[in-house]
A and B are shown apart, each in its own frame.
Chain A
Amino acid sequence: MPQVIIEAGHTEKQYWRDLWRYRELFYFLAWRDLLVRYKQTFVGVGWSIIRPLLTMIVLTVVFGKLGKMPSGGRPYPLLVLCGMLPWQFFSGAMAESGNSLVANSNLISKVYFPRIIVPVSSVITSFVDFLISAVFLAVLMIWYRFSPPAAVLFLPLFVILMFGVSLGVGLWIAALMVKYRDFRFIVPFIVQFGLYISPVGFQSSVVPQQYRLMYALNPMVGIIDGFRLCLLGGQDSINWGGIAFAIADVIVLLVSGFWYFRKTEQTFADVI
């Protein structure tokens, strides 16, 4: 017979067990968000192709054609798309999971389940979009007759890093948003700003050598570099520092995000 002890302060012991018990809810919430997302739209799921396609065209024209940025001999659209894949995942996942608790406040205040399921399943939802965009990239690579190098085997590592950084930031924002709705305004700003300070439309090698390390403090730099390295090969020098920074950033963000989420979780229902 299951025993539950509710006590002022801590409920640690039950936390992981509950998470396991409610594991299907990860899936159900993500499923709900996916079902709802394209209801009453005309183009439907086509949007997850159209958005990256249009952005890719714009960035290729702006940076590749007008800005004449180097591409290291690779087709510029592929270069852009390789950067956009992790970037769009990050910005979408962060925004969705950041807003997820507030958007589900009716659940939070009326029923118990481990709260962390809500932001995590938002990230999972964004991952489905990522997969659709990835298919689009694969099609484009076939079109350009571009076969990925052997380094593609390391791609899962960068996918995990991408997932981790999005979840870490998402957890922070979700927990903060419960109390401070200011983040509603901050998040779109991060998304807009981040597109320019991350190497989405250009290669990070464009950044002068002396600023590289500072530039790499942005975890997306290492992740996007990694994606390009694995998918398009590394004709230019590999920025190992950037990748190391990304790994460190992800760990710090995830651990601290989880810590802050757990710390504030118990008051969500009172504050939201």
Chain B
Amino acid sequence: MSDAAITIENLGKRYTIGHQRGVDEGMRHVIEGAIRAPLARLRSSRQKRLQDVDFWALKNVSCQIKRGEVVGIIGRNGAGKSTLLKILSRITVPTEGRVHINGRIASLLEVGTGFHQELTGRENIFLNGAILGMTREEIVRKFDEIVEFSEIAEFLDTPVKRYSSGMYVRLAFAVAAHLDPEILIIDEVLAVGDASFQKKCLGKMGSFAQSGKTVLFVSHNMEAVRDLCQRAVWLKDGRLNQDGKSEDIIESYFNSFSDTLSFSCTNPDYGLTIRKVLLRNDRGQESSQFHPGDDLIVEISYDAQKRIERPIIALGVLGTGGSCFTSNMLLDGHRPSFLEGAGVLTCTFRAIPLLPQNYTVKMRLQAANVKDVIVPYQEVASFSVVGDLSEYGYKGDFLTWALRSTPVVIPYEWRLPDGTTARVALTRNTF
């Protein structure tokens, strides 16, 4: 028991949906309800119960996190990750179950919580520090370190509303990075800032993890989870689906996509239904398994009840570590002049230069004015690339490492000191 940092027992959180009428639960309804209550209670008690829909954002979640463990929490949107973090950081209370936290805890659900636009950088360091739970004395002590980390020393007395978004994020993360808790909870904070700053943040988190602190890390960036965390917890529909070594969990997380049913969605405002999105190989067969160098055909079946003028479709192929490649009408400009009625649209990616790993396909559909998103960017299909790399001329001793490599391989050529050359490409007919 003593080496447990966080013990979660049967945790559940229920939200009631449908109880709220309209946008806000106005007082008029309550007063109206109170006046009508004597009558209404007789009549509509059953009806009312039907209106209120209970939704368990989290249910029966139990697990124990040991001191010094770095745990990644993964799962799709709406799987309950954020709810779990909110409960652990005590922003909201659970409906059932209990959590025992052993140690000084700090949580970062957002970078720059409580920053005030009108205040200067210096003032915001104090304000933000206090909100995150530091004492004034602690902030004074770490002030110079924070300023140095943020790299904004010369703008310290400028209101943050004049900062660029990069400066803002750097300052905010600098304050957060100097919290000194025993347990740290982080939610996707790294999704902001430029690449070099993200690297710095990851480095800081890595050193935090190495110094024996307990870290809970929620992210969609599987590469970051795999690099930082030994253990991963996979939440699915509010339940704990799997818990174990992060590599194993991430792999089965990706594998799970190939079992799911075909994607479909409807946007009633535009009268557009995406009926299904299929992946086909170069022989035209539906498939979720491809070989390196195969053609990948993404086939989108739609049904447009209303005419949609010049829509913009973008596709992205993503691996565990993020985007690999994309096709985007916003860039190439080859937009359909309109969509109307039922139809099919395909995009063929020629000779996919991908190593044997798991991938997902994301899609977005925007209206002609770019601003209005008809189908938001989301996962529509997934596939895995399989194959024996030795068939492609690979002859390394560590071919299994391909599973963790950067997935995209464009043709390249080695020229060695002895004058020999070697061409490498993920296409079968090259050799």
**Interface of A toward B, CB cutoff 8 Å:** 1-9, 11, 21-22, 24-25, 28, 31-32, 35-36, 39-40, 104, 106-113, 179-182, 266-267, 269-271
Contacts and interface: CB of A to CB of B under 8 A. Distances in A.
B91 interface: yes
Interface in B126-146: 126-127, 130-133, 135-136
B99 interface: yes
A109 B24 CA distance: 17
B107 A182 contact: no
Interface of B: 15, 24-28, 30, 86-105, 107, 109-110, 113-114, 116, 118-119, 123, 126-127, 130-133, 135-136, 159, 182
B94 A6 contact: yes
B110 A2 contact: no
A36 B107 contact: no
A111 B131 contact: yes
A28 B102 contact: no
A145 B105 CA distance: 58
A109 B104 CA distance: 20
A4 B135 contact: no
Contact of B113 (A4, A21, A110, A182): A110
B113 A107 contact: yes
B103 A28 contact: no
Given A106-B114, A113-B133, A1 B94 contact: no
A261 to B, nearest CB: 15
B130 A25 contact: yes
Given A36-B119, A39-B118, A4 B105 contact: yes
A36 B119 CA distance: 7
A108 B109 CA distance: 12
A143 B200 CA distance: 63
A182 B27 contact: yes
Contact of A111 (B87, B94, B109, B119): B109
B212 to A, nearest CB: 14
A266 B100 contact: no
A22 B135 CA distance: 8
Given A1-B103, A39-B118, A22 B133 contact: yes
A40 B118 CA distance: 9
B113 A6 contact: no
Given A8-B97, A35-B119, A111 B132 contact: yes
Contacts of B88: 6
Contact of A110 (B93, B110, B119, B133): B110
Given A25-B130, A28-B126, A106-B114, A2 B104 contact: yes
A11 B132 contact: no
29 contacts: A1-B182, A3-B100, A4-B90, A4-B101, A5-B98, A5-B99, A7-B97, A8-B97, A9-B93, A28-B127, A28-B131, A32-B123, A35-B118, A35-B119, A39-B118, A39-B159, A107-B113, A107-B114, A110-B109, A111-B113, A111-B114, A111-B132, A112-B89, A112-B91, A179-B25, A180-B25, A180-B26, A180-B27, A271-B25
